[in-house]
Amino acid sequence: MAELGGSLLTMHGPETSISLVRNKHGIPQVTADSFLDLYFALGWVHAHDRFLNMELSRLVARGRGAECLNPALFALDVNMRRYNLGSDAEKEVARLSIDSLALVDAYCSGVNRHIDEGRLPFEFKLIGHKPEPWVPADVITSLKLMGLIDLSETQAWMEKCIIQMIRNGVGLDQLKELFPYLSDNPSPDHMEAIRKVRLPEPIIPETVKWKELPRLQGSNNWAIAGYKTRSGMPILCGDPHLDTSRLPAIWQEVILSCGHFYFVGATVPGIPGLPLGRTNHLAWSPTYGNMDSFDYFMEEIKGGQCRRGDSYSPLAVREEIIKVRKGSPVKIDYYETDRGVLEETPDGDGCYLCLAWAQAKECGAESIEGMLRIPELNTVEEAGPVFAELDFGSFSWAMADSEGSIGFQMSGRCPVRKEGVSGLLPMPGWDDSFAWRGFHDRRKNPSSYNPSEGFVVTANNDLNSCGDLCPINLSMAPYRAGRIAQLLGERSDFDVPAMKKIQYDLYSAQAAEFLPIIRPLIPGDENGILLVEWDCHYRSTSKAPALFERIYEELIRIVFGELNFGREVIDYLLEESVLLHDYYWNFDRILLSENSGWFKGRSRSEIFREAIARGLSGEVEQYGSGRKIMMKHLMLGGRLPRFLKFDYGPVDIIGGRATVSLGQIFKSGEREATFSPTYRFITDLAEHKAYSVLAGGPSDRRFSPWYVSGMPGWISGEYNELVPVNSEQLI
């Protein structure tokens, strides 16, 4: 079959012929006469342009990295097998309706058509890897992986960190000050159990060595009512933040047409869904919703059995064989209770941690059903309940429609916990009163429809006030959402250029909170004057944001390091973990308080004076210095000479932790990782088009002209136009 290029390519699908062509930006355009053919073509396009992403995700999700890619991935395989994604996915396929299974089968057939054509990424040929056919269970496994990694799993890491804080002497009152949703009043026996529970791979290990961490995820999205726009119709914007330090791009842009239906936006290779974009009448974009879907239980094990009340029951044992490339297979036993999976092998009597995950079982089929319904949705009123039922992960979906409505709806499974239990402390598994009682009605998740202010905004912030239940106990800071809301409240004539400006906004609401405390304490030297006159914008050419960052980090080191955890631990949290990058709002609340138990008797002004003196001392470079990163190839990054251009850069990561265009750099295992917008999308419902920039390009093939073709626009803010077509005419 001919290469998908700038000229028309036709292929025969399950029912009729399909037309494919790249537009001038290299984005695949698919035109089909039926949805079976459309999803078949989407599968073929994903495999053609992004099979590297697809296959690596599938192998990671199934815990087969050491077998098929690199023995060094063995530890990752051990961790992923714990979640047992593949086994549940096989069962979920049987729950799909006949119509949905037909569409999923069509998608898989499109993927397999391309696999059979034999033109697979040469990276797999280098290592002799032969991909297996793509099957419906792979679709559900990929979807469950999407809901698991990043902030969802980070919630569990922070809960494990809380355990370690307790073991290191942090009192309950201090913890409640740091974590406002920690409402628990545990008994002395409960607290003693927490202090004694075995803690494998603690989040802050005594050796200050961390396991490799997956990338972090966040996002902004918002929708504006028509009476606040120049066109008189709603505008929707979305910019998911993931790791931009890798190539190929995470998202796959497509333009799909079927009869009078069209879709323009971003898809996830491996999944026949439409997670971000617009159709003829509806536009939507997700952010991570911060719902707590993880809990730790403490299990008392004696003689290989698990305590329940005053009796003991046998543990279930799941045997997994992890094959190792050019090595011997390794048998791993996973021990399970009715609460979840033990964190380690119970090799003796004692108290063990057990992880419960809301999406572990009987999850995925409903989400696929919902995602496949999106093409038939025309209004926000229709879409909200469908998005609410997407149980594979916690996301806040901003929406807008051509009838003028806007809204947001959170999705995800929230466990029903015992009254008074926050989910932040590990619970005694032997006490059945602490067991989960199913899941809350997803229709009661936070939502907002056509609010009086004329816009909705979500940015991984606390949205508990928008629903009948409060599923969030850890959230990111309110700074980004607050800044976007501030800007949207200032005018009533918004248009697409104004939205582009907001997506690249570099004002830090965090700095604006701290500076009134800092400025009166600043000395009148050169560095101090720079900070006094600073307008809180994180410009790369400015020295002021670099000075603020130095002072802020010293505040963290003094209060949470020197006065509490110890300097070595807090340095590691700042430099090589994701927890402070994610949950820094909890720490900011302490720093901004006039008095706190974390201050250990010192005054806030005394602590700030010391941090300011440290932060302002010495030479300071422009903020952008040292913030250039190489975007590295997913498999071969850093291993080949730069002139071969598998890696791209160096690239400036603009912004800071609290700017709308969020930009953070941290270490993930042994590599440098980032937290910044991977895709920016804008659409005005008054016109049948959208505008976007992508961190990367349409293709995963290094020698394709579309490998990094999106980078100049992503850097400069020059958006591409996504214009839908159908089989007859430009819409």
SS3 of 499-546: the string is HHHHHCCCECHHHHHHHHHHHHHCCCCHHHHHHHCCCCECCCCCCHHH
* Cis peptide leading into residue 712 (ω within 30°): no
Number of domains in the chain: 1
**Which positions ≥6 away from 195 have C-beta within 8 Å?**
166, 167
**Which positions ≥6 away from 265 have C-beta within 8 Å?**
253, 254, 274, 276, 277, 278, 681, 690, 692, 722
Instruction: Give a yes or no: residue 562 inside a domain.
Output: yes
pLDDT digits (tens, 9 = 90+) for 647-684: 999 999 999 999 999 988 876 555 667 788 999 999 99
Instruction: Give a yes or no: residue 162 inside a domain.
Output: no
Task: Say whether 675 sits in a helix, a strand or coil.
Answer: strand
Tokens at residue 585, please? Answer: 């709002």
Residues shown for the chain: 731
Strand 28-32, strand 427-428: pairing: unpaired
Q: Are 180 and 425 in contact (CB under 8 A)?
A: no
Instruction: Give a yes or no: residue 581 inside a domain.
Output: yes
pLDDT computed for residue 664 by the predictor: 85
Residue among 407, 409, 434, 413 nearest 423 (CA): 434
How many Å apart are CA 638 and CA 647, to the nearest integer? 7
Instruction: Give a yes or no: residue 638 inside a domain.
Output: no
Range of the domain at 566: 509-616
Instruction: Give a yes or no: residue 600 inside a domain.
Output: yes
Residue among 439, 147, 157 nearest 296 (CA): 157
Instruction: Give a yes or no: residue 219 inside a domain.
Output: no
- Which stretches in the chain have pLDDT values below 50? 1-2, 205-216, 727-731
Q: What is the pTM of this model?
A: 0.95
Instruction: Give a yes or no: residue 592 inside a domain.
Output: yes
Instruction: Give a yes or no: residue 609 inside a domain.
Output: yes
Residue among 190, 183, 654 nearest 424 (CA): 183
pLDDT computed for residue 220 by the predictor: 95
Question: Could you give the C-alpha distances from 670 to 55, 212, 620, in angstroms and in order?
Answer: 23, 7, 27
pLDDT digits (tens, 9 = 90+) for 361-393: 999 999 999 999 999 999 999 999 999 999 999
The domain that contains 529 carries what CATH number? 1.10.1400
